[in-house]
Amino acid sequence: MTRLNPVRLRRKVASIEAAAIAGIVCAVGWSLALRVLLNAPAIGASDADIVHYYADKGRADAVMWWLQVLVISTISFLWFVGVVRGRLGNREPRLFGTVFFGSAIMLAGLLFVGAALLAAPSVLVSVGGKPPGAEAASLTRATAATILSVFAPRIATLVMFSTASLGRVTRALPRWLVWFTFILGVGEFVNVSVNTPAIHVVPFWIALVSVVLLIRRPPNGFELAGSAPGS
């Protein structure tokens, strides 16, 4: 049996292909999990609709499962960020790299908080065995909508802009994707929807970037043009 070379394994784990796969896992997981979590009664739902929805314990148990999917997907997102920064190393432009890293951490945190608020009434049903009050469920939904549609899109814009800037400087992303990212980021930044947060825009963009990285696979990956490839 052929023994696996540890050095080769580390390079494979730290490769841009690993980042792209992690990005695809993140995009699919976020889209599916958030779709389920947002299926709860809206902010303006009647008390009767809220009571009827949370009376189903099986639905609450499913929300608990999808919450775990969202956590794993967010870890994949952070892996995506870590691999990209690892490939750049000391050649990372300090400004873009700092914004990229900081905004990614903030986005993951906001998503965790928003998802926790969306799932809180279902957790009460699944774990506590009792339905939430209609007013409490509406309040948690409104708070989650504020986080996911007001704060998160603006932070996501920073992730998109910094990624596009890194992709332009390193030539790891094609020019059309760089400009598409800037345009999509502007649209995400000016979005003021609260009742129906456009949260699926970011997973779509992450999946698009990941697929392009897998298909295009430039010789230097995420490495600055004109510099020697890192070890």
Q: What is the mean pLDDT of the chain?
A: 81
**Hey, what are 122's tokens?**
């279902």
How far, rounded to the nearest angstrom, does the alpha carbon of residue 23 sit from its chain's CA centroid? 8
Residue 3, domain member (yes or no): no
CB 151 within 8 A of CB 110: yes
Report the predicted TM-score, pTM, of the whole model to 2 decimal places. Answer: 0.82
> Does residue 88 form part of some domain?
yes
Q: Is residue 228 part of a domain?
A: no
d(CA 114, CA 117) in angstroms, rounded, equals 5
Q: Provide the greatest CA pair distance for the chain.
A: 65
Compute the residue count for the chain.
231
Structural domain count of the chain: 1
- Look up residue 207 and give its two tokens: 């999946």
Tell me which residue range forms the domain holding 24: 13-216
* Residue 179 confidence (pLDDT): 94
Neighbours of 98 (CB within 10 A): 12
The pLDDT tens digits of the residues spanning 3-32 come to 555 545 455 555 767 778 888 999 999 999
